[in-house]
A and B are shown apart, each in its own frame.
Chain A
Amino acid sequence: MAFDQAAWRVIGATRRGRLHAHRGEHREDAVQGAQWSDGWCVAVADGAGSSAWSRIGSAMATSLLVESVRDACAASSVQERVPLGLRDILERALTRVVNAMRILADEVGEPWRAFRTTLLAVLVHEGQLATLQIGDGAIMLRSVHGTLEHPYAPAVGEYSGEVAHFLPDDGALEVGVASIREDDAATYDLAVLCTDGIEDPWYPLARHGAALIDEWMTGAASEHPSPAGYVRADIGEVITATAPNASCADALATWLTFEKRGENDDRTAAIAWRRRD
């Protein structure tokens, strides 16, 4: 996934993890993005490993959310409109996602939990930025001053892989709505979303996030600490000022082939950065 939208460049990539590849199973992560004249939206999702149709859940969640947001924002850009804030736009989109997942589950005779997925999103529209998160994975925002922000604390259970909330479970919509954060988009020049296939090997991102971004921007090891046992993919920089977005997206997809013992989950990331031209 790759596009330019006025002030921003946006890419996304996803790769099946070794666990699923070894077993001949589907990737359960998904990434989607969309743009319109005044903004863009990107979403990533990770289907629950214990849910039979989670790959459908993650694909639905990302596609429907992004589509709903795009339609609402594009409609709000025409002259005769009822202005909606980003919070309202995201809440309505999330509601649509939950309802659609439940309707599909009911229609095919499966329990809702068969489609379980996390969902993370970043929306930029008319100079405002909003985020939401349900489940694990991570969002990072870099301010124009270089400070990395983490809007959400890691969703940790007692042990690895334990997630408190999934769509379309009861209560997950409320959790997602409560998670919505808004800010001035001018404050930021970079946004990252990733599923836990990246968050876990780089955990905690509060410590290693800077090294991750440096690696994407320079292709080299950073002065900031990288996680122990991490072996980089044979790729240079991912985010460049000059290469076309499609090349950056390919580079990100290659970067996702990094090695770290025991880290075999699907990997998905989306990166949005401000254009300098």
Chain B
Amino acid sequence: MSMRRLPVYILADVSGSMQGTPIESVKSGIRQLHRDLLGDPQAIESAYLSILTFANQAQQLVPLTEVALFDPPELTANGNTNFGDGLRLLLDCFDRELIRTTAEQKGDWRPLVFILSDGAPTDVDWPLFAQQLRERRPANIIAVACGDQADVTVLKQVTELVIQMQDMTPDAFKAFFRFVSASVKQTSAKVGAIADGQGITLPPPPPGITIVP
């Protein structure tokens, strides 16, 4: 590969509690994100999207795919919240799909990951994978607590950057995915020093979405 990619992963909770309006809003939001990125000349050149889900088990519905060829997947909500399997799959994707910089080739840009969850994990393994993500820091991870039932403390175990949607209305999801789109476009610029672990600069979250301190 001769060009550098900005990998963007969306890891979405599709457990039973997401049935109905929430899952439809996530599907709609992914389609909206795709349309937005198709309209951005920088994003269409460098952004690659992947959709992962977790319920009873985790699945990679769409492998890392360039924006022009990305096909928004169908999502259905059912089952438990096996958060640990979702994180495990995310780590597996990093190992399989990402290209690191070497003496011979320039690698990908540091990936952007958005993790959406509306509840609390039902598995017991998630702390192990959360710890790996925090220690390895393989990506810029933004965890999204969807609604007031989401367990923010769990998400804080995965990443420092947790934002909360106050409700799970279609408008709230729409605003969130506009935020995702703006984040992807902004991240295509140089991210700065690694020496002090400084993270990316994200756009301000829209109304109805707050950063969890």
List chain A positions with a Cβ less than 8 A from chain B: 18-19, 22, 48-51, 113, 116, 153-154, 156-166, 169, 171, 200, 203-204, 206-207, 227-229, 260-265
Pick the contact of B108: A113, A160, A200, A204 (CB < 8 A). A160
B182 CB–A CB distance under 8 Å: no
Known contacts being A159-B101, A204-B103, A264-B45, is A48 close to B190, with CB within 8 Å? Answer: yes
Q: A159-B107, A262-B3, A264-B42 are in contact. Are A169 and B101 (CB under 8 A)?
A: no
User: Can you name 12 extra interface pairs (CB under 8 A) apart from A50-B198, A162-B193, A162-B194?
Assistant: A49-B191, A158-B100, A158-B194, A159-B101, A160-B106, A160-B107, A161-B109, A162-B191, A162-B192, A166-B193, A207-B104, A261-B3
In the assembled complex, how far is the CB of residue B196 from the closest CB belonging to chain A, in whole angstroms? Answer: 8
Select which of A22, A51, A158, A166 is within 8 A of B101 by beta carbon: A158
A265 with B3: in contact, given A19-B42, A158-B107, A159-B107 (CB under 8 Å)?
A: no
Write out the residue numbers on chain B whose beta carbons fall within 8 Å of the beta carbon of A260: 2-3
Is A19 a contact of B189 with CB atoms below 8 Å?
yes
Question: How far apart are the CA atoms of A49 and B45 in the complex, in Å?
Answer: 19
B102: chain A residues at CB < 8 Å are 156
Q: List 20 interface pairs A-B (beta carbons < 8 Å), by A numbering.
A: A19-B188, A50-B198, A153-B103, A154-B103, A156-B102, A156-B103, A157-B194, A159-B109, A160-B101, A160-B107, A160-B108, A162-B191, A163-B190, A165-B195, A166-B193, A169-B196, A203-B105, A261-B2, A261-B45, A264-B42
* Cβ–Cβ contact A116 & B193, under 8 A: yes
| Contact (Cβ within 8 A) B101 A262 | no
CA distance A50 to B140 in the complex (A): 15
Which residue of chain B has its CB nearest to the CB of A172?
Answer: B195
**Which residues of chain B are within 8 angstroms of A51 by Cβ–Cβ distance?**
192
Q: How extensive is the interface on chain B, given as a class? A: 20 to 34
Contact: B46 with A262, CB < 8 Å? yes
- Residues of B127-146 at the interface with A, using a CB-CB cut-off of 8 Å, are none
- Please, how many angstroms separate the alpha-carbon atoms of A263 and B109 in the complex? 12
Interchain CA distance A207-B103 in the complex, whole Å: 10
Q: Is A49 in contact with B190, judged by CB distance below 8 angstroms?
A: yes
Per-residue interface assignment for chain B, residues 76 to 108, with 1 indicating a CB less than 8 Å from any chain A CB and 0 otherwise: 000000000000000000000000111111111
Q: Chain B: interface secondary structure?
A: loop
Q: Would you call the interface of chain A mostly helix, strand, loop, or mixed?
A: loop
Q: Does B34 count as interface, using CB distance less than 8 angstroms?
A: no
Q: Are A50 and B101 in contact (CB under 8 A)?
A: no
Query: Most B CB atoms within 10 A — which of A154, A159, A200?
Result: A159
Give every chain B residue within 8 A of A49 (Cβ-Cβ): 189-192
Point out the residues of chain A lying under 8 angstroms from B198, CB to CB.
50, 113
Residues of A within 8 A of B189 (CB): 19, 49-50
- Chain A residues near B100 (CB-CB < 8 A): 158-159
Contact status B4-A160, CB under 8 Å:
yes
Task: Rank and list the top 8 A-B pairs by shortest CB-CB distance, nearest first.
Answer: A49-B190, A50-B192, A228-B2, A49-B189, A262-B3, A229-B2, A159-B110, A162-B194
